[in-house]
Amino acid sequence: MDHGINTVPFVSVENMMRLVIELGMETALYELTEYIDEDFRRWPSFDKTPRVASHSTDGVIELMPTSDGIDYGFKYVNGHPKNMKDGLQTVTAFGLLADVNTGYPVLLTEMTILTALRTAATSALATKFLARKDSRTLALIGAGAQSEFQALALKTVCGIDRLRVFDIDPAASRKCIANLSQSGMEMKICSSGHEALEGADVVTTCTADKQYATILTDNMVGNGLHINAIGGDCPGKTELHKDILLRSEIFVEYPEQTRIEGEIQQLDAEHPVKELWEVITGRTTGRENDRQITLFDGVGFAVEDFSALRWLRDKLKTSSRYDLLDIIADPDDPRDLFGMIQREKLRMKNLD
């Protein structure tokens, strides 16, 4: 990636798709998981704060910033479940990576696709450390925009090779199965959540409705199950019955954010949870036995987006899948921004 200091690489949706296609979806998911793992292992080096959220009756708009003291990254992301009725995405995003020393941006990118990839990679990382080692069957509850990414990430990173899908919209389940037809997984569309969980080792819940919901009831969850609960991502939105939480060992990204937005908003603030980075680094225990229920209450955190931005910047070193944007003003004299405009005015006049 060779460009001047005053132009910024920009990865459009088209270029992101082509980059992932050229690399291979499963390779991209595997590499992203590795980058997130690396950054979770240096978790204390990051600035951390709950995301800055602006809530409305129809959804939420959020900013997710973090820095490791060398680079600064943020993501703009929305969540508007009603959009689907109008043919729009429920979640869209873009992000930026900047040099802390100068404050200059070094990368601007779409992050709707990239967020789907990093969310699936984070689920795979949690599953790798928390699920039973012999886990092979995944139940997907919710077959929306996240579903195929989730299934492929768990296949690639964790060896999952059987998939059971349930969505209240049968068309969504058919879409998911069709999209994964070349994945090599054994797949089945189920008529209920109960059926999907029969024989499952891992379940991922990823529904879109912004409400308190009970996607999983207590009687559906047997001993030894690992749960990735990734649909609860804002206040007032959950997917699991509270009794499941009380039976599970709970793992989170950043407790201060998850207690606001995750499944554990249903619990007392003092209810104990473990942080995923501490499991990855060996500071605390993960799964203790094969009968234990483990729950990853994943709401998405800025460090994961930082990892994704870092991965993308590295990919662009050997890829031309970007455009250059002129978004940094560069007067000959840094103190003379006004004069730069005057000189441009003169050039425009001469061209006329």
Q: How far apart are CA 224 and CA 296, in angstroms?
A: 14
Average pLDDT, the chain: 93
Residues 6+ apart with CB under 8 A from 102: none
Is residue 233 annotated as part of the catalytic site, yes or no? yes
253-264 pLDDT, tens digit each: 999 999 988 899
pLDDT of residue 5: 67
What the block records as the tokens of 214 is: 């009970």
Q: How far apart are CA 198 and CA 218, in angstroms?
A: 14
- Select from 234, 199, 229, 233 the least CA-distant residue to 215: 229
- Select from 125, 24, 41, 117 the least CA-distant residue to 75: 117
Q: What is the dihedral of CA 291, 156, 123, 110, to 10 degrees?
A: -170
Name all domains of the chain by residue range, CATH numbers in brackets.
Answer: 8-113+304-346 (3.30.1780.10), 131-299 (3.40.50.720)
8 A C-beta contact, residue 298 and residue 228: yes
Rg (C-alpha) for the chain, rounded Å, is 22
Angle (CA) 38 43 47, round 5°: 125
Length of the chain: 352
Residue 232: pLDDT over 70: no
195-220 pLDDT, tens digit each: 999 999 999 998 766 556 778 888 99
Residues 6+ apart with CB under 8 A from 237: 209, 210, 211, 212, 213, 231, 261
What the block records as the tokens of 68 is: 């490791």
* Catalytically annotated residue among 37, 39, 71, 233: 233
10-67 pLDDT, tens digit each: 999 999 999 999 999 999 999 999 999 999 999 999 999 998 989 898 888 999 999 9
pLDDT of residue 79: 85
Half-sphere exposure of 62 toward its Cβ, with a 13 Å CA cutoff? Answer: 26
Amino acid (1-letter code) at residue 291: R
113-126 pLDDT, tens digit each: 999 999 999 999 99
pLDDT of residue 308: 98
Q: What is the mean pLDDT of residues 257-285?
A: 94
